[in-house]
Amino acid sequence: MRLSRYFLPTMKETPAEAQIVSHRLMLRAGMVRQASAGIYSWLPLGFRVLKKIEQIVREEQDRAGAQELLMPTIQAADLWRESGRYDDYGKEMLRIADRHGREMLYGPTNEELITDIFRASVKSYRDLPRILYHIQWKFRDEVRPRFGVMRGREFLMKDGYSFDLDYEGARKSYNKMFVSYLRTYARLGLKAIPMEAETGPIGGDLSHEFVILADTGETEVFCHHDLLDYDVLAETVDYDGDLSPIVEFWTKFYARTDDKHEAAAFESQVPEDKRVQRRGIEVGHIFYFGDKYAAPLGAIVTGSDGSQTTLHSGSYGIGVSRLVGGIIEASHDDDGIIWPEPVAPFKVGLINLKVGNEGCDALCEELYGKLSDAGVELLYSDREDSPGAKFAEMDLIGLPWQLVVGPRGLKSGVVELKSRASGEREELSPESALARLTG
Ligand code: 5CA
């Protein structure tokens, strides 16, 4: 993509309304624009990141055996009356009437709707277990939407739902999601720690929040430092095997959010030099809630012995749009964003320091063509701005690699390759730079 044609409305000034760094950088880097309080438009650069995150989430859900579907954003109030949550949800639920005066709502979550789909079509234990998920916009009329996409009113969530015949089966599904979440966040370049947590309006008695550490996080968290040192992706996972050892490993350490924290237990279970007390961002939350929805909605199947059994379920959420802000909170410097490569909107920023110089233009065109042909996603800074402005813009939008072509290097046959994360610069021949970026 050529910058001269790209819609990238970056801002030099720091927007006054943004209180935290990720919100400031998302506005400055032209990733989002506020449409109204807690509701955002995703501009091309931000949308690319959102899609990358979504795709990694999808791949790890699929790998764990979950199946994607798509449920609507608008739901019927009557279904929520069956579970009793229509009244319980209070003002956080956006309630709408259609032209016939029928009560509808913009879904804050989907336990009722998925249970409705399930009860209508699944009648036998033979059709179990199943884990279904979708990636869909939610609306919660938060009292205090803030911090940009971190606490929005409209936000993108991956929400998955498991259906099993009994507790043992449900526990296996829970473990699959637990392990797949560890992998998902690791692939996003994050260290997310599963923590014992309250279940809130979703309900149930078994629940973990996945939290990344960040000073701007809304929750206070307490955990054992060893949880931060573990390399999740080092081992391959067999989702058909017994996952309980992995879950037991992660849950044997003290890790709790402030709602569940007990100072005495923390001090007795964690040696002083291993105690981590920080703020964190909740990037996912998983719940086992048994028959909380299946019972009132009548999601019943015939068991192998012919008996009628109510389904056991859990739900599993990932804050996809919140993750965009969360990743920036975890990965930035004074100059801007530092995207982990798997979620970067483009891998390379190609910088032509002297647009109009024949040699620079020709080499840039060649590199642009070859990198594009090799499938490398790149943004070509081809406008007649000053070198300083070009570098500042590239640092702000945080692409992992900057490939710099200038008249001085051209004379000695070299280009410069800069890593945004380490700041290291290297002079290379154009061929070696190409090999590096395509290899
Ligand atoms: N039905 C369950 C799981 S599928 C559920 O709704 N869980 S939740 O309420 O914990 O939300 C799941 C995730 O969505 C949270 O962990 C968080 O990362 C994200 N999330 C929740 N509220 C917001 C919000 N207002 N803005 C952005 N992300 C949010």
Is residue 288 domain-shared with residue 425, that is, in the same domain? no
Task: Please choose, from the candidates 328, 337, 354, 396, the residue with its C-alpha nearest in 3D space to the C-alpha of residue 8.
Answer: 396
Q: Give how many domains the chain has, as a whole number.
A: 2
**Residues 244 and 380 occupy one common structural domain:** no
What pLDDT does residue 316 have? 98
CA 182/CA 64 separation, integer angstroms: 12
Domain that residue 374 falls in: 346-438
pLDDT of residue 200: 77
Claim to verify: residue 17 and residue 135 sit in the same structural domain: yes
- Given 316, 337, 358, which residue is the final one in a domain? 337
Name 300's Cβ contacts closer than 8 Å, sequence gap at least 6.
119, 294, 308, 309, 310, 311
Q: What is the mean pLDDT of the chain?
A: 96
> Ligand 1: which atom is nearest the Cα of residue 108?
6
One domain, residues 142 and 115: yes
pLDDT at site 332: 97
Residues 160 and 238 occupy one common structural domain: yes
Question: Can you give the CATH number for the domain in which 177 is found?
Answer: 3.30.930.10
Low-confidence ranges of the chain (pLDDT < 50): none
- pLDDT by residue (tens digit) across 238-297? 999 999 999 999 999 999 999 999 999 999 999 999 999 999 999 999 999 999 999 999
Calculate how far, in angstroms, residue 46's C-alpha sits from the geometric centre of ligand 1: 20
Residues 263, 400, single domain; the answer is: no
Helix axes 21-28, 320-330, angle to 10 degrees: 100
Task: Please say which residue of 307, 337, 367 terminates a domain.
Answer: 337
| Ligand 1 binding pocket includes 290 (Cβ within 6 Å) | no
Do 308 and 377 reside in the same domain of the chain? no
Q: 311 and 431 share a domain? A: no
Same domain, yes or no: 396 and 274: no
For the whole model, what pTM was predicted?
0.96
**What does the pLDDT read at residue 202?**
72
Most informative mutation of 26, 61, 157 for ligand 1 (most atoms within 8 A of CB):
157
Same domain, 227 and 92: yes
Instruction: Quote the pLDDT of residue 439.
Output: 85
- Determine if ligand 1 sits within 6 Å of the CB of residue 109: yes
337, 367, 383: which is the final residue of a domain? Answer: 337
Instruction: Retrieve residue 277's tokens.
Output: 């007390």
Q: Does residue 128 share a domain with residue 198?
A: yes
